[in-house]
Amino acid sequence: MDADQKAIETLLMTQLQGFADRDAASMSDIYTEDADWTNAFGRTITGRDAIISYLGELFADSHFSDNSMAGQPEISVRTVGEDAVAVKVYTQIEGQRTIEGDVLPTRHNYSLKLLGRQSDGSWKIVSELFMDARSEVTHIKNE
């Protein structure tokens, strides 16, 4: 494993552990200052400090923090250029509740992260988008 692969793996593990521990502050070094972040419900936030602040609020809310990851995440990394990689992560999330207290069905959550190499050689998340798979069928294959 080369130094870039190790740095990217460390960043991803820092994020996964931060979510598992509900520790937003532990993730303050993984985002660029001007990063953007969009959750699976369409909330978009711009700026590292705003992202970390929002995650802190989210983690403090039991409707969110009562959830847990079911199994291990599936992660794939694709090189986009010398200084950029795209990372796709799939996780299953169980136990999250709505603000009314209803438990959501198991979430099949995908995230797409664009990581950029910084001038100091480190890797940080520049843009991150989360989405949940839907169960409705919208296409019938013609055979």
> pLDDT of 33-82, one tens digit each?
999 999 998 999 999 999 999 999 999 988 888 888 888 999 999 999 99
One-character DSSP codes across 68-97: EE-SPPEEEEEEEETTEEEEEEEEEEE--B
Q: What is the pLDDT of residue 58?
A: 92
In tens, the pLDDT along 102-139 reads 888 888 999 999 999 999 999 999 999 999 998 777 77
Q: Which domains does the chain have, with CATH numbers?
A: 3-132 (3.10.450.50)
Grade residue 1 by pLDDT with cuts at 50, 70 and 90. low
- Residue 67: the pLDDT is 83
Q: What is the pLDDT of residue 142?
A: 67
Is residue 8's pLDDT more than 80? yes
What pTM does this model have?
0.89
